[in-house]
Structure 1
Amino acid sequence: MSVRVVHDLRIEAGFATQKGRRPDNQDYVAFCLGSGGAGALQGVVAAIADGVGGHKGGRAAAETAVRAFIDGYYAQPETLGVSRAAARSLEAANSWIAAQSRVDPSLEGMATTFSALILSRRTAFILHVGDTRVYRLAGASLERLTKDHTLGRGDFAHALLRAVGFDDALLFDQGMHSLNIHDRFLLCSDGVHGVLPDAKLRALLAERGGPQETSERIVQTAFEAGSHDNVTALVVDVVDVPPADERALSRAFAALRIGELPAIGDLVDDFRIDGLLSEGRYSRLMRATDTQNGKAVVLKFPHPRVADDAAYRLAFVNEAWVAARVRSPFIGEVVELLPGRQSRLYSVMPYYDGETLERRLRREPRIDLVEGASIATRLSRAIATLHRCGVIHRDIKPDNIILLKDGGLRLVDLGVCRAPNLENLSEAHAPGTPSYMAPELFDGAAGDEASDLYALGVTVYRMFSRCYPYGEIEPFSRPRFTKPPPLAHKRPDLPSWLDAAILKAIAVERADRFGDVLEFAFELENGSARAQPLTLRKKSLYERNPVLFWQTLCLLLALLLAISLFYR
């Protein structure tokens, strides 16, 4: 099934359950939008319970726990918050089940394991007790979000240490995780994970069939693998998440201090600093490891000297806001941290295994036509993705382009971008890097698709020639935009159509440029089919040195005149 909840959180879910080789099914599973339907602010709830075998009322305990939890959760006031509302609901369900097991002989000892997943806006909340499990597939990585409450060793390794209904006071685990588009969650009973190792579950989830199809396939695979227990699986796909609110982001970043730059080996909010990646005028990029999950990330810290400059705080808001709205395999991501984790101002990005285009163009071999055209067309698609969303990058350059080892490309650093509903940088802060800025930006223009196209053209020119078409422009200087030297002067091995396409992209007059970056990409992709490489003829002496040419000619004429007079 597919549902849509308030604030554009869109979820698809499906589940399957079988009694397997047991005489009856003591598992219970449910997925619920809540009594408010599509307007429920508490989000959606997925829950699974597995009645404790060997006790009376196992099935009743499982169904009661799930139903009571869901009903109780949605009955709580929204102002209570997800975590507190969920905890109160589970505690109430536990108290009722524990009481029933004492007063009703037919339900003596009733108890159940329990795991719940609540998806609210941009956060996933976990509640868990027992040995049912919750997994998350993010990309190709499978992460188990719960820990089994079992003895874990000896002949009684699977003996439960905790369960709903064991005691009047329930000890359970809670967790919060940032919610990302394309996350896939699996809730399953021990009849599934007891026979299917994590690697097999990852492979089944990574097939990316529909949630209903995937849950049925997991259950059937577990049964065929010899499971002797009930087998139940619930799969939840995150199709879309609500965008971050710009005002909330601004308030959050405004409250964070700008501290001294960390050193290698320091621990910042559970991020271990592993190394320095790059140093700029206003920020430092550092490679780090998230010790909470072991993932490699990149942290961008502002320099302390910009602590009082609101413009550079705004840059962090820009990046977070755009990253929440523009999703593309060509655009760099920003990792959203859970509330309360971040103690100072910085942004977190995934670590992309590769190198910047700037570093690539500085090493041999030089970028040839095939490699360069591929990079340029992928970069064009990245910029076109931003433009379709109304976002102007305004700082396109080789330093902000990452070439991945797997052949991918990521355009990063959206700190000075223009976007709808975003507060803009003041006129005192001209956006971009001077050598890549279009002429109109030096006249006070804010930047648009045409200026991004110009920066793309300069990037491509430099990628092939290792030079700037109008020379390197120093900050705060006023450049002169004379006719750029043809690319063929530096690279006679490249075709003339490429030269013409780049010169059109970097034309001084906006009207002389391509209509958009996709026109430029089309020219790069199809130009080689229409023209042959340009072979430069050797320049004549007159073209290379006209003064020497006339001096030589005059000397020759004087010599001929002297010879003529001698013979007369």
Structure 2
Amino acid sequence: MEHLQPSLSVSFAQLSEAGRKSENQDTVGACFPEGAALATKGIAVAIADGVSSSQSAKQASQTAITGFLNDYYATPDTWRTGQSANRVIQSLNRYLWSQGQNSVRQEGFLTTLSLLIFKGDKMFVFHVGDSRIYRYRQGSLEQITRDHNQRIDHKTTYLSRAMGADLSLEVDMQSHEIERGDIYLLSTDGLHDFIDHRSLTSHIEKTTDLEELTQQLYSKALANGSEDNISVQIARVDDVGTPSESDAITVLSRLPFPPILDVGQTLDGLTVEKILHESERSQVYLVKRDDDTRLVMKTPSPNYVDDAAFIERFVRESWIGSRLNNRQVVRVVEPKQTRSCLYYLTEYIPGPTLTQLINERAPFAVADATELAEQLVTGVRALHRRDTLHQDLKPDNIVMGRQGACLIDFGSCWVAGIEEMASPIAGDKILGTLDYSAPEYRYGGPTGPRSDQFSLAVLVYEMLTGKHPYGDGYGKAMSLAQFQKLTYRSALQFNPLVPVWMDRALEKSLYIQPAQRYEALSEWLRDIKRPNPNWLTAKHKPLIERHPERVWKVLAIAGWAVAIGLLVFVATR
């Protein structure tokens, strides 16, 4: 994502030596990517100390470092840093554990692992064992990891947590904002057990050359009697990865906005055959390449030529779509010619939108609505697996093709891996279409996959009834109090062919509070496809479950009435 290119800059030096031992069982490594990977994945620095009681210590530490640096950068760009790093660490731990279980000598493949990832204006720490990470800031040195060891007596300790020791692994994870001038030091116990805190601070304060500093610390540890392997890595933050707004606008403006196109006009070898959609924000055209392949071109409206937030979100749309591969999600297509201006292409799906079908056919047969719901869940799951929320699920953004319902338009998508990076450009807080978006977007509640679940349920409800589950007042509500005054209207009121159990499943997924909805889309899909036995025994839930706020209001009024009555009774005696 060129438009998210950060200005993060880190100076770095590392050293790893056997010391007085015959073999170096420590491993160090780092990756400084360029371009989009620097923005989406960041800079990774890693250190590992193989547990010397095992003959496979060196192999274990090397596997942990090389495996992490290879696999972390192969995870989806849309994932959060924590999600990507933790999944890779857990996978490596299971591998090391299985290697130990299958070892002929019955020895463990054990190692510590301490990781530091710089991304944007933050740093992320992942830590197992007794290797360490320190932070030096404004004259103060702080150890930011905790040693996972257990002391038996004043001379004897043992490692209480290590990679490969067990099938399950608890990883210490934390994140902090970074500042320009911060110095981070990673070390194994062959170094930090033989240099006291004050001496370590003094060396960092007096030496600006990082290569020289690693040599000084190595020599100091040897001079102080270290008989273990000695490894140290030092990273200095020279520039924090938060671009200025002017820099961001410059990058985003490299490609000019295209002109408004008419049928028959050509842009970069793409001829406009039809104008599919025009709005204040964008234009959508059916275009044809030289090889007669039909595609859809989306261009930004000239109305937003100086709106950096709009441009960033538009550029992000094609990036999101290009990382999805699912038959129920429209496929982004790379142009054959170099772009001369700002636009992106998707496959053309010849078919009506869900809006057209609802206008023509609603109410749908229950079987047809259920089939479409299953297809939509498949598409939404593809986004959720990439830690992405669609946030604008509505009939206009669903096209009916030969493979069924297909999601289009990524303009409102929330991507965890991007959102955790600082942005100098303020974007829209409320996205999507009010009649279909979950209420928490407006009243400020927690958003997540259950927010897309709400929108999906509105779509299915509308397919079955042609109505909105909360009526016309839903689009006007903005606060939690206003939403709580709304009442769910049973789908049976408008379509008596809807099964009671299906209506109950819709109602549950349409609760105003997201915590009351289904935990997973699979549970919701199961309950709208077949009867939930718990709902066959009674047609109605208890009143306190359906309308808890009303029950408590009545109880409160009744309580006050009783209290006043007692006061009157006492006063008149």
Give the shorter-chain TM-score range: 0.3 to 0.5
TM-score under structure 1 length normalisation: 0.46
TM-score under structure 2 length normalisation: 0.46
> Whose RCO is larger (CA < 8 A, sep 6+)?
2
Larger Rg: 1
